[in-house]
Amino acid sequence: MTHLTPSLTPDNRCPMFVDSHCHLDRLDPATHGGDLAAVLDAARARNVRQFLAIAVTLEDLPALVELARTHDDVVISAGIHPLHRLAEEPSVAAIKDAAERVAAVAIGECGLDYHHLDNHHLDKAAETPPSREVQRERFRRQLIAARELGLPVVIHTREAREDTLALIREHSDPAVGGVLHCFTGDLDMAREAVRHGLYISLSGIVTFRNAQSLRELARRLPLDRLLIETDSPYLAPVPHRGKPNEPAWVVEVAECIAAERGISLEEVAAQTTANFYRLFRAAAPDAPAEVREALRSAGLV
Ligand SMILES: [Zn+2]
């Protein structure tokens, strides 16, 4: 696949960054005095110019729609997180209908999380997460909805490698693809996912002191399959660990990848931005004008 760096790097300007996964409706009220506009402005000041706000449940959608309506640089997804507790599981038709109604650019976040299933008993206060069976059926329905809508999937996967890959193989269209978000698996799993048309998104975890294997993955995966994200308000990168995360700090994730690969920050920014719009095609018409121009000349929109 071609690298698009030069065309996305206007002279003397740092190219833009994209936060490909943030929970703008769940940001800590203490951040920037609870003022979301100020949070986004802090990110824009570092040239983070596109935000994909991710749904955790379909009930989030009204708030997310309002965010997208009031901010030109916010696009949204529609989906149900594997750990979210629901009284009733939405059908494929209901998921498709919800996604279409809100003009979602992706389905998710969806996926499988067996970690909390195995460990929730350690935390007596925690509610029982949905069972493996419920998670698999919920994920399957969202993969089918995504395939039928031609939308990419945003996938959360934790300690569920085989089941995640099996469902992707069975139900996901490699021509549409998706992303393994906040990836913490190994290189083999990442490569297997890439073979099925998926991108790998790295979060602030890649900056953590003990994340050597993730940094190795940041070096070894092809740059044209990587995305960057904050997953804010969770998982603030070094040197902000312990604070509520915010989209401005996606730059720290890009800096870490640049340092690992021995390339410029500009190249990481340009390539991950191109990757974002290549995957989330429905967001491309609203990209900043010079980015749209570059994408057009590269034949991506
Ligand atoms: Zn998330």
What residues flank ion ligand 1 with Cβ within 5 A?
Answer: 231
CB–CB of 109/84 below 8 Å? no
User: What integer pLDDT is reported at residue 4 of this predicted model?
Assistant: 44
Between the CA of 233 and the centroid of ligand 1 the distance, in Å, is: 9
What is the layout of strands, in order, in the sheet containing 198-202?
17-22, 48-53, 74-78, 106-113, 153-158, 178-180, 198-202, 226-228
Between the CA of 90 and the centroid of ligand 1 the distance, in Å, is: 20
Between the CA of 214 and the centroid of ligand 1 the distance, in Å, is: 18
User: What integer pLDDT is reported at residue 2 of this predicted model?
Assistant: 40
Between the CA of 53 and the centroid of ligand 1 the distance, in Å, is: 9
Between the CA of 109 and the centroid of ligand 1 the distance, in Å, is: 7
User: What integer pLDDT is reported at residue 68 of this predicted model?
Assistant: 95
- Which residue do the tokens 């070096």 mark? 219
pLDDT digits (tens), the chain, 301 positions: 444 444 444 444 558 999 999 999 998 878 888 889 999 999 999 999 999 999 999 999 999 999 999 999 999 999 999 999 999 999 999 999 999 999 999 999 999 999 877 765 655 556 789 999 999 999 999 999 999 999 999 999 999 999 999 999 999 999 999 999 999 999 999 999 999 999 999 999 999 999 999 999 999 999 999 999 999 999 899 999 988 999 999 999 999 999 999 999 999 999 999 999 999 999 998 888 888 887 777 776 6
Angle among Cα 154, 31, 109 to the nearest 5 degrees reads 10
Between the CA of 169 and the centroid of ligand 1 the distance, in Å, is: 22
Q: What is the 3-state secondary structure (H, E, C) of the chain?
A: CCCCCHHHCCCCCCCCEEEEEECHHHCCCCHHHHCHHHHHHHHHCCCEEEEEECCCCHHHHHHHHHHHHHCCCEEEEECCCCCCCCCCCCCHHHHHHHHHHCCCCEEEEEEEECHHHHHHHHCCCCCCCCCHHHHHHHHHHHHHHHHHHCCCEEEEEECCHHHHHHHHHHHCCCCCCEEECCCCCCHHHHHHHHHCCEEEEECHHHHCCCCHHHHHHHHHCCHHHEEECCCCCCCCCCCCCCCCCCHHHHHHHHHHHHHHHCCCHHHHHHHHHHHHHHHCHHHHHHCCHHHHHHHHHCCCC
Between the CA of 265 and the centroid of ligand 1 the distance, in Å, is: 24
Between the CA of 54 and the centroid of ligand 1 the distance, in Å, is: 6
Between the CA of 23 and the centroid of ligand 1 the distance, in Å, is: 6
Between the CA of 110 and the centroid of ligand 1 the distance, in Å, is: 9
Please state which CATH class domain 15-297 belongs to.
Answer: alpha beta
Between the CA of 231 and the centroid of ligand 1 the distance, in Å, is: 5
Between the CA of 22 and the centroid of ligand 1 the distance, in Å, is: 6
Q: At what angle do helices 132-149 and 92-101 cross, to 10 degrees?
A: 50
Between the CA of 202 and the centroid of ligand 1 the distance, in Å, is: 12
Between the CA of 8 and the centroid of ligand 1 the distance, in Å, is: 27
Between the CA of 21 and the centroid of ligand 1 the distance, in Å, is: 6
User: What integer pLDDT is reported at residue 124 of this predicted model?
Assistant: 57
User: What integer pLDDT is reported at residue 27 of this predicted model?
Assistant: 87
